[in-house]
Amino acid sequence: MHEAVPGHHMQVARAAEVEKLHRWRSMGSRNVAYTEGWALYAEKLGFDLGLYKDPFQHYGHLQAELFRAARLVVDTGIHAYNWPRDKAIAYMAGQGGLDQDFAVSEVDRYFSNPSQASDTCSASASSSSCAPVRRGPRSEIRCARFPCRRDR
């Protein structure tokens, strides 16, 4: 959902197709709050679209949320509290639910690129602004034209 349709793939493809789109929307990779916010919102659409059919698929969504929270803590720990590499790796592996090798590569990325994980904050703020906008029209038309699975 995050990387594919309706996430980044659809967003970037649509931005390329639409003529006279404002520059900040057509160059989505340079606007983290917009691109990542949309992708986080798209992940949540999996519930409305009925794509998370069993507990394991729901678990995958929750695992991604846990990973994003852990990376924010680790990035802050490294750059604000001078965490050593081994502490950051241990936290990422333990709290982020990652295997050791992936935790190492993530932590090394955060050491070399300060505040990269803080993109999660701007994306979350952007994502949460999508839901109220969507709720407005939904309540007005009562999903008559595009029924949502929750309303069936």
Tell me if 122 is assigned to some domain.
yes
1 within a domain of the structure (yes/no): no
pLDDT digits (tens, 9 = 90+) for 9-53: 888 888 878 888 777 666 655 667 777 888 888 888 888 888 888
The Cα–Cα gap between 52 and 46 comes to 6
Domain that holds residue 129: 8-151
Q: What are the phi and psi torsion angles at 19 (to 5°)?
A: -80, 150
In a domain, 134, yes or no: yes
d(CA 107, CA 138): 41
Residue 69 in any domain: the answer is: yes
Q: Could you tell me if residue 12 is inside a domain?
A: yes
For 78-96, what is each residue's pLDDT tens digit?
999 999 999 999 999 999 9
Q: Is residue 3 part of a domain?
A: no
Q: How many domains does the chain have?
A: 1
In a domain, 2, yes or no: no
Q: How many whole angstroms separate alpha carbon 66 and alpha carbon 92?
A: 10
pTM to 2 decimal places:
0.71
